[in-house]
Structure 1
Amino acid sequence: MNPVLTIDPEFEAKCPPLTDDELSQLEENILEEGLVLMPLIVWNDTIVDGHNRYRIAQAHPGIEFRVHEKNFNNKYEALSWICKNQLGRRNLTPQQKKYLIGQRYKAEKQIRGGDRKSEQAKSSSQNGNLISPLKTCDRIAEETNTSKNYVIRAEHFSDGIDAAEEVLPGIKNDLLLGKYKPRETDVAAIAKAAPEERREKAEQLRVIPEKKPKADKESARSGTKRQQEVYATIDKSYEDMKDSKRVTEDSALVSLRYTARNMVETCDVLFTNFPGLLEKPDYKDQVIEIMQEPKQYILKLEGEPDNEQH
């Protein structure tokens, strides 16, 4: 007989929700198997991973599941674990990743009593031969392959997301899925605004900026002679593919190859002309964040399995 478990809204809020299609597929898989294959992770009978699986089991009497008990000293350790576990998923958007890192940082500061600057300073002075442990933000940055500044900004970003959700329910998921892509500073500003101003500021996050005129796109293409040659080759490839008799996998690969090469060359041109993109930490963090999308796409093509959905 399945145990009765508790769903903590604060814990569940850290888990990126499944899309309707993903949820339907998960339910279909469970019904086909006749049981929940992956155990639900719990702490004191409270779910920390497996909220969707639990609800599906509840909706279908007879579907059994197992539980695996985790031990945490407090809820902040549980929250940190949830964020780290969710960060292991391969299908996160850049916004979801940033939100989870920010929430993890926030939780772990509570575990460690903040960054303990005064305690570390005291330890360093009294024990000259001992190396103080990394500050929380530095450690998380190292573990998530980001930077200290990224982690700090991620906390402000996640606070803004939660503040916007409080006054405008539903916007959190839209923002984390990338339906709207406001500036990070505008999102963070929601949490810092006066309570009476938050709803208006949150609504402004949904304003979609006007598309740049075509001329801007064309000017963006201008650059090195090599880039122009690459675009010409791509255009010719597309023209060739319009003739159905000539469309083959080989011609498609030619187009794909030049597209990939152009992306690399465009990056090289930008980094050469604007060295601050890589030399200045704030800009470098954003460059790495932008490049997560093609990276995740490559991982998807390579067929690396996603972690079990929550």
Structure 2
Amino acid sequence: MINLKIDPEFQSQIPPLTDDEFKQLEENILKEGKLLSPLIVWNNTLVDGHNRYTILQKHPEICFSTMPLPFESREEVLAWICKNQLGRRNLTPEQKKFLIGKQYSVEHRKPGGNGNNQYTAAAKEPVQEELCQIDTIPPTSAEVSIRKQIAERNNVSESYVARSEKFMRGVEIMEQMVPGMQEKILSGQFKVRDADMHRLARADFPNRKQIVHEI
């Protein structure tokens, strides 16, 4: 069996299945005896098909194939994942908002922007704080164009896209400070106000702990 790499950031963009959904998927795969659709990969890193790959590891006798896609950067991969997941019909409002925010964030920060993601930023605290203050900087014409495209594709307003980026960043910060919170928030299990996520996204690093405590 091919051993594929699992990228935590890629995987975290994909809403998890419920136990019943995962069980049904496993039963369907076992019934077919193979995967009907290939796993999407980039440089031997899994991009799409994480649940199916988990099942394959439990049942190595199942036949499967992979389809490499020629992405040029992590940002392109993340944007593709978000667009692909936004095509699902069973997303919670929080999941949809998070994915739209993530797609907008990575698309207007592709190479030519600052190129940071949550992991590189976490290693450089000043950069992380700078990114969280990004809403104070007027958007460029390219950002406005990307925002418009994403809004039209998802039947939402451009202001919704901009707010979604702040929501997404707030959720990611919550996850960094309280592991497991992202799944709880996006599933709707733990309710948060958009205003609180926006406030957390804008906060300087030293003030985040207090805001999380208040939430």
State the TM-score, normalized to the length of structure 1: 0.57
Kept in 1, the 8 Å contact 2:108–2:143? The answer is: no
Task: Classify 1:199/1:36 alpha carbon distance in 2 versus 1 (closer, same or farther; 3 Å).
Answer: farther
Q: 2:190: which partner in 1?
A: 180
Task: Report the alpha carbon displacement of residue 135 of structure 1 after superposing the two structures with TM.
Answer: 1.6
The structure that is helix-richer by fraction is 1
Deviation at 1:197, TM superposition (A): 4.0
State the 1:173 CA deviation.
1.0
Match of 1:271 in 2: none
> Runs (4+) of structure 1 moved beyond 4 Å?
none
In structure 1, C-alpha distance between the alignment counterparts of 2:197 and 2:109, rounded to whole Å: 23
Structure 1 stretch displaced more, 5-14 or 21-30: 21-30
In the other structure, the counterpart of 2:45 is 46
Q: Quick one: higher RCO (CA 8 Å, sep 6+), 1 or 2? A: 2
Deviations 1:88-118 (A, max 9, x none): 000001110000000000110122745983x
- Structure 1's 152 and 50: CA in aligned 2 closer, same or farther, altered over 3 A? same
Counterpart-to-counterpart distance in 1, 2:213 and 2:19? 25
The residue matched to 1:111 in structure 2 has which SS?
A: coil
- State whether residues 164 and 199 of structure 1, in contact with CA within 8 Å, keep that contact through their aligned partners in structure 2: no
Query: What is aligned with 2:97?
Result: 98
What TM-score, normalized to structure 2?
A: 0.81
How far apart are 1:54 and its partner, in Å? 0.8
Count of residues in Structure 1 that have an aligned counterpart in Structure 2? 191
Distance 1:176 1:203, change over 3 A: farther
Do 2:5 and 2:46's aligned partners in 1 also have CA atoms closer than 8 Å? yes
- How far apart, CA to CA, are the structure 2 residues paired with 1:34 and 1:190? 47
Equivalent AA in structure 1 for residue 183 of structure 2? N
Spell out the pairing of 1:1-310 with structure 2 (5 A cutoff). Answer: 2-111=1-110, 113=112, 117=140, 135-205=145-215
Shift of 1:170: 1.2
- Could you tell me how far 1:137 is from its partner in structure 2? 1.0
2:59 and 2:143 mapped to 1: Cα distance?
49
Q: Any stretches of 5+ residues in structure 2 without a counterpart? A: 114-137
Aligned-residue sequence identity (percent) comes to: 48
